Amino acid sequence: MPGDGPPILVTGITRSGTTWVASMLNASGEVVYVNEPLNPQHPPGRSPGVLRADVGHRFQYICADNEAEFEDAYRDLIDLRYHLAAELRTNHRVADVGRALRHLGMFTRGRIQDRRLMVADPFAVFSAEWFARQMGFRVVVIVRHPVAVVSSRKRLGWRFDLDELLAQPLLLRDWLSPIEASWPEALRHTDDVVAGGAQLWRLVYEAVSAQHQRLPDMIVVRHEDLSLDPVGEFRALYELLGLTFDDRAEQTIVRSTSSRNPVQLDPSNPHAVQLDSRANLESWRSRISADDAGRILQIAGPLADRLYPAWSLGRALPLDAP
């Protein structure tokens, strides 16, 4: 296995900041950063050069019962083995060829330089325990306040399709049905973008909470804590992951979170990582009404209260089971 430590998985709900956090960890120069191999859309997913596995759903669930479909593919990814021929057979437009060659170069340099794999993938969140136990990943889960997440998804027009989850019997068995037992509305369809976003937030973090109880080494960090004290909080995260926090890493984080950066992302570039991190904490207020914020908190329920007691923004509390 390349590198001196385990591979890293950065996950959480979409719009929680997984891309930003992974980009800041990438500043260590000690990882090979792969983005969303479980995304069923191409790009970034549907790239057999990166992951030789058939991803059938958003939030694809992986466990012992179906791991044979994914285990070898992830072992190759951990070992930074890029499958150029498989990629070009599937994706051979000019842009795809350029992307394939960049990935090939990135993987090759990573092996030569003995770097560790780092995957940023919100679609892996329900499978975090499998990645940790079966594949040896160090898992980092990013939590972001439900009002901020849903307001961002609403601004981008992102709707939650519950059928992507319901079509996975193993996910139903292991996570969704147990959640529904204590939250009867958990699996009810809705066309309301606000209610649907809040529903997804709670489903994701109910599953995270249960996984964290069984996997105490899982690192759970709040987006808001990273935004309030980027240098201090990322330094601590680097230490937990065994990455080197040097001047280059610190300057990258300072530039990414500077007050000179925009307060909100341009919707045409939703994955940019240059923001005024402190001002961005309040940007949801311009994107969503007080009534919608109240509805989000009602759906998010006691889980949001536990993660964000009285809307405080101090250091994150431990995640406990509901």
How far apart are alpha carbons 239 and 308 in whole angstroms?
A: 25
Tell me, what's the pLDDT at 144?
93
Tell me, what's the pLDDT at 186?
97
How far apart are alpha carbons 281 and 274 in whole angstroms?
A: 14
Residue 268: which residues within 8 A CB-CB, separation 6 or more? none
Weakest-pLDDT range from 32-41, 64-73, 313-322: 313-322
- Phi-psi category of residue 49: left, alpha or beta, with phi > 0 → left and psi -120 to 50 → alpha: alpha
Fill in the DSSP letter of residue 45.
S
Domain range list for the chain: 8-39+55-69+116-311
Which residue did the predictor score with more confidence, 144 or 261? 144
Residue (of 205, 154, 215, 153) closest to 183 by Cα position: 205
Tell me, what's the pLDDT at 251?
94
Residue (of 50, 212, 222, 18) closest to 126 by Cα position: 212
How far apart are alpha carbons 82 and 299 in whole angstroms?
A: 43
Tell me, what's the pLDDT at 322?
32
According to DSSP H, which parts of the chain are helical?
Answer: 18-26, 71-78, 84-90, 94-112, 128-133, 146-156, 163-166, 169-171, 177-182, 193-214, 223-228, 230-241, 247-257, 277-280, 290-307
DSSP 56-96: -STT----TTTGGGTHHHHHHHHTT---HHHHHHH--SHHH
For 58, the token pair is 């958003």
Q: Is the pLDDT of residue 277 over 90?
A: no
How confident is the prediction for the chain on average, in pLDDT?
90
Tell me, what's the pLDDT at 7?
98
Tell me, what's the pLDDT at 314?
40
Task: Return the CATH number of the domain spanning residue range 8-39+55-69+116-311.
Answer: 3.40.50.300
Residue (of 43, 34, 46) closest to 79 by Cα position: 34
What is the b/e burial string over 139-162, where b = at least 16 CB atoms within 10 angstroms of the residue's CB?
bbbbbbbbbbbbbbbbbeebebeb
Which residue did the predictor score with more confidence, 320 or 72? 72
Kind of pairing, strands 31-35 and 116-120?
parallel
Handedness of CA 50, 21, 114, 215 (dihedral sign): negative
Tell me, what's the pLDDT at 267?
62
Cβ-in-10-Å burial (0-12, 13-18, 19+) of 111 comes to: middle
SS3 181: helix
pLDDT in tens, 198-221: 999 999 999 999 999 999 999 999
Beta bridge partners of 11: 141
How far apart are alpha carbons 138 and 135 in whole angstroms?
A: 9
Tell me, what's the pLDDT at 309?
79
Q: Flag whether the pTM goes above 0.75.
A: yes
pLDDT in tens, 128-162: 999 999 999 999 999 999 999 999 899 889 999 99
